[in-house]
Every structure is written in C-alpha cells, then in structure tokens.
Structure 1
Amino acid sequence: MTSEQATYARVIRRETHSPRSGLAIVLAVILILVCAWLGTEIVLALLGRPALLVAPVDMGRGVVAIGRYPTVPVIIAGVIVAIIGLILVVVSVSAGRRARHVLPSQRSAIVVDDEVIASALARQASYAGNIDPDDVEVRVSRRSASVRIRPTSGQSVDKDAIEHAVTEMLERYQTAPALHARVSVQKEAKVGA
C-alpha cells in the first residue's frame, strides 16, 4: 500500500466513522462532578461542618457494612452497575457509523452521504417508472436501499422496471458496504390533482 493509499484509507475511516468524543466528554464531566463533591465532603468533614449529602466516615462505614444490608437491593444495585459498565465497554469498543458510503476510486477518496444516494435512487426510480418524483421515497441504511412508491390513483406502476433500474444503478456505484435494493409499491394510491 502506497503512502497515498494509506492517506485515503485514513480519510475514508475518519469520514465514515463517528468519534466517541461526546460520550467521553459527558463521562469526564460526571467524573469531575463526583470528585468535586467528594472533595467538598472531605473538606467539610475536616472543618467539622455538616455534610452536604453523606459524610466520608459514613460512606466508609456503609461500604464496610454492606454484608449486613438486605441481599436483594444490593444484588439489584450490583446488576445495574454491571449493565452500565457493560454498555460503556461495548460503546467504547464498537465504532460509530456515519450515514455515508464509500465509492471506489484509484485516484482519490470518495465518500458519499446516504441522502445523496437516496436522492439519486429516487430520481432513477421516478424515471424508470414514469412517475412523479414526489411519489417516490427512498431510505438508505448500511446495507440496503428501501424504495417506496405511492402512485397516483389510476396510474399503473411497473415494479420490476423500477427494481431493475435501481439495482443497476447500485451495481454501477459499487458502494462499500454494498447496497441491496428493495422496492415496494403501496396499495393505497394518492388522489391525483
């Protein structure tokens, strides 16, 4: 892999995956607030003042005496903390995904927003079916493109022609990850103007 290709791969990765900085900032703020609260409680205890919520001595006694508490609430609290921890680990390890796809190119990095692909597929479906573009709704997800057609009353729609045109367009695009088209025609037609 040349340095140019490595640069393109890095750009593509950055543009198609979302960072976890938002979650990291929220967790850091929560941790800072907890540490500030604990520090305030310790200072208040050293000055002989009443605690804001719980005195540090009482917190320590509560942790030491956890075996004397009823078992069910302690287990429930432990399960809740474990689930929150598991969710945070999964979120931190898994990559976030932006609504974008990559198009093949030897000379550059091409990243296309899913809305652009949806717009092109809607236009292609309206041309292939000889229907109004407002009658076509397209949603693009990670692996599929869903084309929904709501024809005007009294107008017939050739679903196979539309499906062929949309599939052919997706094959030309060669998106990564690959998209598969699903075309559906609603039974309830809208009233023509």
Structure 2
Amino acid sequence: MNGARRQVDRRLLRRELRAARTGPAVVVAVVLLLAALVTIAVSFWTADSWGASVFQNGAATVRAAWGEPSWRAAIGAAAGIVGIALIVLALVPGRRRRHGRTTGRVELVVDDGLLADVAAQAVAARCQLPTTQVSATMTAKRVRVRIRPVSGVPVDTAGAADAAQQALAHLGFAVRSDVTVATKGVIA
C-alpha cells in the first residue's frame, strides 16, 4: 500500500511541475484544419469553368516557381525547421516555473519566485543590505543573485552565495547559487 501511495505522489508531483503540450498540439490541429478547408474550397471552386481557369493559372505559376532550385531549398528548409521544432516540442517535457519535493506524507510545490525571494532576503540579511538592493532569479538547478552594493563597501560574494544556498536548503531545495555584484553601487 505504501509503495503504491508513493507512486501516486510522485506522479502528482510530476504533473504539477510539468507543463502540458496543448499549445503545439492546437497549432498543428489548426494548420491541418486550414489545409483541409483549403482543399475542400479549391475542389468546389474548380467545379465551374472560371474557377478552373484561375486554378490552372495559379498551378502553372507554382510549377514555374518550383522549377527554381532556390525556392525548393527555401521551402524545404522551412519545412525542416518546422518539423524539427514540432518534434522537439513533442519530446522535451515542458517545465513550469516551480520546484517540488516529497517528504513523508506531504508533497510540496513551490513557485520559483517565492524561492528566489527567500534567497534574496537571506543574502540581504547576510550582507546587511536593504532588500531592494538584492534580486534573485530561480532556474531549474540554480539561483542567480544580483547585488547592488553601497558604494565603497565590499560585498562577500562567497558569504552571499552560502546564505542563498543555506536558506534554500533549509526549505529542502538543494540548488547552486551564482552571485553577481554590480560594478556601480548605491550611494548611502
């Protein structure tokens, strides 16, 4: 029973951390629907003599353009790029801007912005700076902290990185931290 519960918990956590692929699927469905509608419209349009002559003139223009190697290469390259993009979108899992962890009976999903704020506040407290002078951004495996120091006051970047890592580790999220100190400080 406990193993089955953990499997369900992991699946739910994964579902909350991964984004659905409905956007690319809708784009492909709309393109296929438009192609089908165009095919139907052309078949009805070519039923009368005027539509047939216009269609034949258009087909002759397309055949003449297709004879040019540059047009074929451009169309082939565009189709290849679209195809590769759709394959990548289908295979690579989407990631929401969240982190999650499982402890005992609780699954915790935390927004990346909240974790970045925790890291920024810990760095501001460690460096004795106002929170407005420290900003952070959370990625999948690291937190990037940017510090605008007070002019002339050095900042301990190793201590700042350690403060961010400890604050996030205290919450159960082990990530690396990158600290960047701005070259121009704030006048105190």
For the criterion TM > 0.5, the same-fold answer is: yes
Deviations 1:73-105 (A, max 9, x none): 213322221221111111111111111111341
Task: Output the CA distance in 1 between the equivalents of 2:15 and 2:50.
Answer: 52
| Corresponding residue for residue 145 of structure 1 | 143
Pair 1:31 & 2:32 matched: yes
Gaps in structure 1 of 5+ consecutive residues = none
Task: Output the CA distance in 1 between the equivalents of 2:119 and 2:156.
Answer: 16
Counterpart code for 1:39: I
Task: Output the CA distance in 2 between the equivalents of 1:5 and 1:126.
Answer: 38
Gaps in structure 2 of 5+ consecutive residues = none
| Corresponding residue for residue 171 of structure 2 | 173
Match of 1:146, SS?
Answer: strand
Task: Output the CA distance in 2 between the equivalents of 1:48 and 1:14.
Answer: 56
Aligned residues: 186
Q: Is the CA contact (8 Å cut-off) linking 2:118 and 2:168 kept in structure 1?
A: no
Task: Output the CA distance in 1 between the equivalents of 2:109 and 2:74.
Answer: 46
Deviations 1:54-87 (A, max 9, x none): 738975x889x69x81333213322221221111
Task: Output the CA distance in 1 between the equivalents of 2:50 and 2:37.
Answer: 17
Pair 1:190 & 2:147 matched: no
Task: Output the CA distance in 2 between the equivalents of 1:181 and 1:150.
Answer: 17
Query: Which residues of 2 match residues 125-144 of structure 1 at below 5 A?
Result: 125-144=123-142
Q: Is the CA contact (8 Å cut-off) linking 2:115 and 2:168 kept in structure 1?
A: no
Structure 1 residue 10: Cα displacement? 1.5
Query: Which residues of 2 match residues 45-124 of structure 1 at below 5 A?
Result: 45-50=46-51, 55=55, 59=59, 69-124=67-122
Task: Output the CA distance in 2 between the equivalents of 1:57 and 1:19.
Answer: 44
Q: Is the CA contact (8 Å cut-off) linking 2:24 and 2:86 kept in structure 1?
A: no
Counterpart code for 1:29: V
| Corresponding residue for residue 3 of structure 1 | 4
Change (3 A) 1:57 1:15: farther
Task: Output the CA distance in 2 between the equivalents of 1:56 and 1:96.
Answer: 45
Task: Output the CA distance in 2 between the equivalents of 1:95 and 1:120.
Answer: 27
Q: Is the CA contact (8 Å cut-off) linking 1:42 and 1:56 kept in structure 2?
A: no
Larger displacement relative to structure 2 (3-12 or 139-148): 3-12
Structure 1 residue 156: Cα displacement? 4.1
Q: Is the CA contact (8 Å cut-off) linking 1:118 and 1:145 kept in structure 2?
A: yes
| Corresponding residue for residue 12 of structure 1 | 13
Deviations 1:28-50 (A, max 9, x none): 11211121111011012124441
Counterpart code for 1:115: G
Deviations 1:125-165 (A, max 9, x none): 11111110111010111111111110223544333332222
Identity of aligned residues (%): 25
Change (3 A) 1:58 1:101: same
